[in-house]
Amino acid sequence: MYDAKFVYTKIPLFAVSEQKEKKKVVALLSGGLDSQLAVRMMQEQGFDVSAVAIKTPFCDFDCGRGCGFEIRERADDLSVNLKTVYLGDEYIEMLKNPKHGIGAGFNPCVDCRTMMFEAAKKHMEEIGAEFIVSGEVLGQRPMSQHAPSLKLIEKESGLEGKIVRPLSARLLPETIPEKEGLIKRENLGMIRGRTRRNQLDMAEKYGIENPPNAGGGCLLTEPVFGIKAKDLFEHVKDPTINDIDLLKIGRHFRLDEETKLVVGRNKDENEMIKAIALPNDILLEAKDHFGPTSILRGKNAKEHTKFASSITLRYSDAPKNQEEIVLIINGDNSKEISVKSVEEEDYNKFRI
Ligand code: SF4
């Protein structure tokens, strides 16, 4: 529910008592609108806000999906220091067996948020901040933003009572900074649910230009990506960042328990496949026709070369009913084989 008690003013960032040092808080900044509003609300209450932005192998801020790719600009607009923390191998390790399960895609939201808050907590302790702020809105996301999850995430990250969610704070239990009088609870929000009407209204009044679209860019919530990620984690004991980079491109085929084929969908993906290839991977391309670069990865890659060649040919401009040459490249070695395109019903069953 929108609360008319919000005091909307252009923030006089320099104006809060210059005699008195401002108390510090750390904000988790995603680049989305809600976290920007949370920062503004804390600045309005006179805090010196530092932001922490978290990158993971599934969101590097540069994918152009709209979540955080402008994050540095957003931080500058908000006049906050920005610390970026990369959760790489430890994030993959968590994803092998998330303690609190996964959502509708392959998204381990409770464990993911816990790791993000742990990173923010570390920064809070380093700079002597009082508490952490996040733009979470009660009931906005099914897995991580209902009241029990918010409480669980606080507990798991060792931050009980120390996370303030300004947008929904008055619908949530009182936090330590509220009890201690550091924050005025009456100026906090009562927003609930998925509608963005209140936030857009606040954005306008806070002078946040071009508020980003809702939804964010977490690949793990996307159903198709989730299926590919699940397949990877089921078949590879220790997936690497390189494996995850490969998940982001191409058409994927599971050829056996230990081997997969990825077929590029366009020129950029073909280049990426070549860049991602490791010494044991096999690259395939139609020799005389425009078409994809494919990559065969896994223990039995060599055994699948012929079938993979016929799939690669299928996605090329080569005529479908005659033998054509496919180049097989393995490191510095290459050879040619002659194959026909495979029939659709013969390869579709391997599609992930
Ligand atoms: S949507 Fe993605 S980034 Fe957000 S909490 Fe869930 S897993 Fe983490």
pLDDT single digits (tens) 243-255: 999 999 999 999 9
Distance (Å) from CA 154 to ligand 1 centroid: 16
240 backbone φψ class: left, alpha, beta (φ>0; ψ -120 to 50): beta
Same domain, 136 and 264: no
The phi, psi pair for 351, rounded to 5°, reads -65, 135
SS3 content of the chain, % helix, strand, coil (to 5): 35, 20, 45
Q: Is 107 in the pocket of ligand 1 (CB under 6 A)?
A: yes
113 lines ligand 1 (CB under 6 A): yes
As a whole number, mean pLDDT of residues 66-80 equals 79
- Give the residue, by CA position, lying nearest to ligand 1 atom 3: 218
Q: Is the Cβ atom of 305 under 6 angstroms away from ligand 1? A: no
Q: What is the pLDDT of residue 7?
A: 47
The domain boundary residue, chosen from 187, 206, 225: 206
Quick one: pLDDT at residue 109? 92
Residue 297 CB coordination number (10 Å): 21
Domain range for 185 is 24-206
Ligand 1: centre distance to CA 172 (Å): 21
Quote the tokens at residue 153. 């995430």
Running DSSP on this structure, what letter comes out for residue 7? -
The yes-or-no verdict on residue 66 having pLDDT over 50 is: no
Mutate to test the pocket of ligand 1, among 28, 144, 219 (most ligand atoms within 8 A of CB): 144
Name the residue with the closest Cα to ligand 1, atom 5.
Answer: 109
Q: How far is the CA of 141 from the centre of ligand 1 (A)?
A: 10
- Band (pLDDT 50/70/90 cuts) for residue 70 is confident
Q: Number of folded domains in the chain?
A: 2
Using left for φ > 0, alpha for ψ between -120 and 50, and beta otherwise, residue 48 falls in: beta
Whether residue 145 has its Cβ less than 6 Å from ligand 1: no
Do 78 and 175 share a domain, yes or no? yes
Percent of the chain with pLDDT over 90: 79
Residue nearest to atom 2 of ligand 1 (CA): 218
Same domain, 192 and 278: no
Q: Global pTM?
A: 0.87
Tell me, yes or no, whether 257 and 150 share the same domain.
Answer: no
- Rounded distance between C-alpha atoms, residue 187 and residue 3, angstroms: 9
- Whether 68 and 193 share a structural domain: yes
Assess whether 130 and 198 both reside in one domain. Answer: yes
Residue type, 275: A
Which of 90, 109, 114, 219 to probe ligand 1 with, by most ligand atoms within 8 A of CB?
A: 109
Q: Which long-range contacts (CB under 8 A, 24 or more apart) does 161-165 make?
A: 162/121, 162/124, 162/131, 162/132, 163/117, 163/131, 163/132, 163/133, 163/134, 164/25, 164/42, 164/131, 164/132, 164/133, 164/134, 164/188, 165/38, 165/133, 165/134, 165/135, 165/136, 165/137, 165/138
* 336 and 191 in a common domain: no
Q: What is the mean pLDDT of the chain?
A: 90
Q: How far apart are the C-alpha atoms of 183 and 140, rounded to whole Å?
A: 24
Confidence grade of residue 2 (pLDDT, cut at 50, 70, 90): very low
pLDDT tens digits, one per residue of 100-144:
999 989 999 999 999 999 999 999 999 999 999 999 999 887 777
In a domain, 15, yes or no: no
Polymer length in residues for the chain: 352
Both 185 and 56 in one domain: the answer is yes
- Please give the DSSP secondary-structure letter assigned to residue 21: P
**Is the predicted pLDDT of residue 14 greater than 60, yes or no?**
no
Q: Is the pLDDT of residue 18 over 60?
A: no
pLDDT of 215 reads 58
Say if ligand 1 is within 6 A of residue 144 CB.
yes
Nearest CA to ligand 1 atom 1: 218
Helices marked H in the chain: 33-44, 71-78, 89-96, 109-127, 147-156, 176-179, 197-206, 223-235, 241-247, 267-276, 305-314, 344-347
Binned at pLDDT 50, 70 and 90, residue 21 comes out as confident
